[in-house]
Structure 1
Amino acid sequence: MQRQTSHQPRTVFGRLRRDVRGNTLAMMAAFLIPLCGLAGSAVDMGRLYVTKVRLQQACDAGALAGRKFMADSDDTALDTNAITQARTFFANNFTSGFMGTPTFTATTNPYPFVPTKTSDNQVAGTASTAVPMTIMKMFGSPTIMLKVTCEARYDIADTDVMFVLDTTGSMACQPSQTSGCSATIGSYTRPDGTTGYYNQEVSGSKLSGLRSAVMNFYDTIAANVDPSTHVRYGFVTYTSTVNAGYALPAGSMVNDWTYNSRRIIGDANNGGATAQTKKPVTKAACDAAATGRSPATGYTTNGQATLVTTAYATSDSSCVITTQPLKPNWRYTKVSYDVSQYVTGATVTDPSKITGATSKWQGCIEERDTTPGVSTFDQDNLPADLDPDRLPTTNATRWRPMWPDVVYYRGNTTSVDYAGNSANPYGDSTSTSQFGQYTALGNYNNIAYGYVSCGKPVSRLTTMSRSEVSNYVNATDFKPQGGTYHDTGMIWGTRMIAPKGVFADDTAEWPGRNAPNRYIVFMTDGDMSPNEQIYGMYGIEYYDDRIANNTTNPSLTAYHNARFVAECQAAKSRNITVFVVGFGQTLTSQLTACASPGQAYYASDNASLTTAFQKIAKQVAMLRISQ
């Protein structure tokens, strides 16, 4: 059957409907309008984002500048200078006409940035501007208004700063004098009236630079602190020991301690005997002429004694009287003494002498018990001397007074008997050399040349005025003396600022306030340089072996360095930020390891020391954006 085909009329519109040629072009034309809208939206949204970011940055900068220059007053309104500075910094960060925003000048009213003073003496601000649309303007989009807010404050929470300062003999020299300056020895009168010795400073000494740097640090903090902020300062000056005894609370010191001293063990002949015969005499009269005495008693203050013996002959009633001059025979050894009165600051008789000499404690200490021969320490199980939290509850954890007057060199680690070669007093040594055998550490040369030292007393954390800080670093006893032991300074600096331990009350938070930020500023001009012959915080290490445990000097340095780094870690683990400044001293690996990350500084001269201290102070008093 033949299929029928229907033929419809071919009209113009019908042909157009069936003709698909050129459809892509038509579709592109139709989609062009929404695509332009999307592209324009992206462009203008990007412009809005960039403008808002820049506006926020400018607002922050203006608020920071306003807070920086804000006058300290009770006015509720921000002072004119702070407003001017805030606007200047805003304009430097958001230029007039940026991204087509309205232009402005210093006299534009209203100004696009408005800084204000808050109720808690900070600076807040609002910044606003109009951003005209570009492509989206063709679609009827209006100009967009942007507004941001900001607030700036000094991030100087209540703050404790402990200065740990190297005041050893080399600080008397200029920074450029790396090999020493041959400073002469001078004397000064301590606040308690006793005489001290020190290395006389040359012009432009490092110690003079340190004084200026400390004052600049104080001024930098003072210029940036809020009236409501509490700042406390403390000082530890260190050599081979620290003068901290009188800062300790009652019950912190032992009542007796054993020193490398001497005691009389008997008599020694002081020349030949003389004999005299008398007759006739009775036996009773002969016996009465004798001055029988026990050995080691009856000496005069110059060390003389005599022993008179008699021999009676009944055959002729004669009496032979023999006189023997004597002097004390000393045993140089470890001797235990009662120090209960000595540690009070009272003047006491020197028990190691027969001259009637007296002693008065300056305040320098021997450290409490430690573990010798150790170079790696467990922070969770530190020995008593390295544990800043350990309270003095037993003799092992209490401190001991340094007593150089009763400490003597004896030449070896064993006991030595010696009757002396001096006539004033009899029985003593005539040596005047440093660490000469049988000489007391009170010997002038031992003190003057740093084999024993006792510097300025520490200052516990407290609020200090500028004049009080100045008085401390310019005091008559802020003198260069002694040798360099970084561990002694760090042990006491950490101990005095740690949130627990014997000085915990000093660094406790103020009532109703958060805990203070805690900082140690550690400054040294030299390498660790222990000496076996020095009498310091651990006794005379040649005799006492409290650190290296019978090792030689090079190992002694390594052991002290290990203790130093361990104590730095103890500080940092207690959220104490440690700044370290090497003054004319290369930053050794130990000094760098001691510092908190990025907080080790090198100062080549007095000017750069001040700069380093100023940088540290600015970090302590950091200005920040709070919102």
Structure 2
Amino acid sequence: MPSRSTVLTSARSSMAALARDKRGNTLAIIAASLIPLAGMVGGGVDLSRMYIVKTRLQHACDAGALAGRKQMGGGTWAFNSYAARTAAERFFDANIQASPYGAASVTRSFTESAGKVTGTASATLPMTLMRVLGKTTETLSVTCDAEMRLPNTDVMFVLDTTGSMGSKAVSTDSQTKMQALKSAVKCFYEIVARLDTAENCAGGAPSGGTSSTVQIRFGFMPYATNVNVGKLLPTSFIADSWPYQSREAQFTTSTSTTWTQGSATETGSPNIQQGSTSGWSTISTTYDVTSSWCSSQVPPDGEINYTGSPSTQNYQEGSGNPRTTTWETQQDGWRYEYRASYRSSDDRCRIQRRSRDVVVTRYWTRTDTGTETTTQTFNRWRYAQITHNISGLKNGTSWNNSVSLPIGYQGAARSLTWDGCIEERQTVSQSSYSPIPSGAKDLDIDLVPNSGDPSTLWGPALPGAIFARDVQYYWSELDRNEALTTADYYNNVPYYCPEEAKKLQSWPTASTFESYVDGLTPNGNTYHDIGLLWGARFISPTGIFRSENEYTSQGGEIERHLIFMTDGEACTGDTDYAAYGFPWLDRRTTDPSSAPTGGCLTTGTITQQVNARTQAICTAVKNKNITLWVIWFGASSTTIEGMMQSCATPGRYFAARNATDLQNTFRSIADQISQLRLTR
């Protein structure tokens, strides 16, 4: 056996050899790096697991937030025992495994504030190979939120406010159709504007409003036989004169002259014509006088007294103005002649007198100035289409509420109040308006009026100016002729003007919105075309309100929605004073050679025109990239519902049979307009 020293020496030799051998070094290095290498590989595996689990948590959190916000709709988080929170939790659970990739303690929590649903989720993931480095678990957390975030949005309500809206849709409804409409519109506002009204809407009360960076505007176009838009337009859009089926007074004219007299001036010398002479008579005898003295006692011959104003004998006036008036005056009297006789024998002086009958003629002239006065006396009325000056409604860039027209008693001025309804501009009568003819300027949504072209202007509706000729009891074609008479004809034609429309505007105060909606009143017949036409004008980005509608004040794009709701088919009357005048006499939309007829659905030439024009306007609206929502509110009607469905943007037609249906319909539209978007 080798000795101990021999073994040690051999070992030292082996180790020295190993130290000098490179293969031995590599083996040692590999052995030393196995532990950190295992940690690095394990870290990559665990990091991948962490990424996958966190992604799954995020997806589940997002799904829950979206589901919760959608369930919440326009209501509140706590509504129906926190149904929205329950929906959020269920969707989270459905989108993640109970123990994803071995994770444990998965938690989720969803809350709401100002309409935004916020979620947090976490999970604890056990580590695998990283345990060798002392890392046994990792807690992963995510957050998410979702809210109804509208784009810049304009909503124009075109609402039927005709008389039938005052009745119930079905006998089981507790509200009239008008009451149901008001409720539905307020709840629509709650969903879109995120502001609470006094209405008891399904889903609870909203709060928080919309983002200040988003423009949300609502406009209203109530309609019946007409629309009330006139005072919302610039004064230059309304004509200064307009033809009405009215009357004008005809007068008998007489002229009189009042003369102002000048000063009378005597011309020439008086003409004295002497008549018979009386005998001489002694008037005095004087003695003891001289001859010269006697001669001095003879007075001059007596003259006729010419005092007093000149009389008007042989009166003669000149022509023209001023005029010269000449005349002569005659005065009768006595002229006295005297003589003196001197007798020298006794120095006696005798004075004698005799008288003569004379006529004195004097001549005068005077220049008179005349003032002519023309007097008109009422003679009769002319009943016809009369063009009246209505410029008195304008007060610079603002409006007066009344205008005076000479249609009162015997042609006196009568003040007529203007409520704001209008008469449409130039149109043509055709059976179809596809395409819209160039002459139908009323159907051109975007045509901006030109004060130099009267065919592009609108006129004010003035029912007080309308006289229906002699048609109080029956109609006749003869009644279309103008009438000349002293009679006062019918001046109370059927007329209905709805609540004034509202241009697109923000409604930051719910009470203001409510107050306007509550003011809507049912009255009048149904003319869909005029309501839809003006609703389109008020929302169009390229028309009369382009400067207000094309972009937001910050230059942002706008999504546009027109909601057209009606409870009935078109119903017209040949005596309705509406947007196209007095139909029986004006015949602007119907054949002027035959009597127009009213009716409902498709009966009557006026009704057929309303339907044709409505379809043309529907097409024009859709061609402007405006989403046209149409709601039919009432019992099923195949014909009218077919027309309404073809009017709407595809997929945007709804039929509501009762008050509950109507509110659900408006709610559905509001939810679709309010696009659900993730904000984180």
TM-score bucket of the superposed structures, by smaller chain: 0.5 to 0.7
Q: Summarize the Cα distance change of 1:625–1:455 in structure 2 as closer, same or farther, 3 Å threshold.
A: same
- Corresponding residue of 2:512: 468
User: Does residue 614 of the first structure (1) align with residue 667 of the second (2)?
Assistant: yes
Unmatched 5+ stretches in structure 1: 1-49, 73-80, 133-145, 179-201, 268-283, 285-291, 300-327, 421-426, 429-437
Q: 2:166, 2:607 → 1: CA distance?
A: 23
Q: CA deviation at 1:350?
A: 3.3
Partners of 1:58 and 1:89 within 8 A in 2: no
Deviations 1:5-41 (A, max 9, x none): xxxxxxxxxxxxxxxxxxxxxxxxxxxxxxxxxxxxx
Q: 1:221, 1:407 → 2: CA distance?
A: 44
Q: Secondary structure at the match of 2:234?
A: coil
User: Does residue 598 of the first structure (1) align with residue 651 of the second (2)?
Assistant: yes
Q: 1:598, 1:242 → 2: CA distance?
A: 28
Partners of 1:579 and 1:600 within 8 A in 2: yes
Q: 1:127, 1:556 → 2: CA distance?
A: 69
The 5-angstrom pairing of residues 452-531 of structure 1 reads 452-464=495-507, 465-475=509-519, 478-531=520-573
Q: 2:484, 2:229 → 1: CA distance?
A: 35
Q: 1:461, 1:473 → 2: CA distance?
A: 14
Q: 1:537, 1:83 → 2: CA distance?
A: 49
In structure 2, give the amino acid aligned to 1:602: A
Q: Summarize the Cα distance change of 1:474–1:87 in structure 2 as closer, same or farther, 3 Å threshold.
A: closer
User: Does residue 250 of the first structure (1) align with residue 235 of the second (2)?
Assistant: yes
Q: 2:66, 2:574 → 1: CA distance?
A: 55
* Alignment partner of 1:375 out of 432, 445, 452: 432
User: Does residue 238 of the first structure (1) align with residue 232 of the second (2)?
Assistant: no
In structure 1, give the amino acid aligned to 2:92: A
In structure 1, give the amino acid aligned to 2:377: G
Partners of 2:69 and 2:84 within 8 A in 1: no
Q: Secondary structure at the match of 1:520?
A: strand
Q: 2:549, 2:61 → 1: CA distance?
A: 37
* Alignment partner of 1:298 out of 377, 383, 407: 377
Q: 2:141, 2:439 → 1: CA distance?
A: 56
Q: 2:673, 2:463 → 1: CA distance?
A: 40
> Across the two proteins, how many residue pairs are aligned to each other?
451
User: Does residue 226 of the first structure (1) align with residue 210 of the second (2)?
Assistant: yes
Q: 2:125, 2:650 → 1: CA distance?
A: 44
Deviations 1:381-422 (A, max 9, x none): 6832122211011211111011111111124463232535xx
Partners of 1:164 and 1:489 within 8 A in 2: yes
Deviations 1:462-505 (A, max 9, x none): 11121111110223xx3211110000100000000000111223
The 5-angstrom pairing of residues 33-44 of structure 1 reads none
Q: Secondary structure at the match of 2:443?
A: coil
The 5-angstrom pairing of residues 104-115 of structure 1 reads 108=105, 111=107
In structure 1, give the amino acid aligned to 2:380: N
Q: CA deviation at 1:352?
A: 1.9
* Alignment partner of 2:625 out of 571, 575, 599: 575
Partners of 1:529 and 1:557 within 8 A in 2: yes
* Alignment partner of 2:150 out of 147, 153, 156: 156
* Alignment partner of 2:187 out of 199, 216, 229: 216
- Corresponding residue of 2:345: none
Q: 1:53, 1:543 → 2: CA distance?
A: 75
* Alignment partner of 1:588 out of 599, 616, 641: 641
- Corresponding residue of 1:270: none
* Alignment partner of 2:468 out of 409, 422, 425: 409
- Corresponding residue of 2:162: 168
- Corresponding residue of 1:335: 386
RMSD of Structure 2 on Structure 1 (CA): 4.1
Q: CA deviation at 1:221?
A: 1.4
- Corresponding residue of 1:45: none
The 5-angstrom pairing of residues 357-368 of structure 1 reads 357-368=414-425
Q: 2:439, 2:619 → 1: CA distance?
A: 11
Q: 2:465, 2:510 → 1: CA distance?
A: 40
Q: 2:619, 2:141 → 1: CA distance?
A: 47
Partners of 2:116 and 2:145 within 8 A in 1: no
Partners of 1:521 and 1:580 within 8 A in 2: yes
Q: 1:129, 1:566 → 2: CA distance?
A: 64
Unmatched 5+ stretches in structure 2: 1-51, 75-81, 128-139, 195-205, 253-314, 316-371, 472-476, 598-603
Q: 2:498, 2:377 → 1: CA distance?
A: 38
Q: CA deviation at 1:538?
A: 0.6
- Corresponding residue of 1:97: 98
Q: Secondary structure at the match of 1:251?
A: helix
Q: Summarize the Cα distance change of 1:220–1:347 in structure 2 as closer, same or farther, 3 Å threshold.
A: same
Q: Secondary structure at the match of 2:572?
A: coil
Between Structure 1 and Structure 2, the one with more strand by share is 2
Q: Summarize the Cα distance change of 1:82–1:610 in structure 2 as closer, same or farther, 3 Å threshold.
A: closer
Q: 1:131, 1:249 → 2: CA distance?
A: 74
Q: Which has the larger radius of gyration?
A: 2
Q: Summarize the Cα distance change of 1:207–1:414 in structure 2 as closer, same or farther, 3 Å threshold.
A: same
Q: CA deviation at 1:125?
A: 7.9
Q: Secondary structure at the match of 2:441?
A: coil
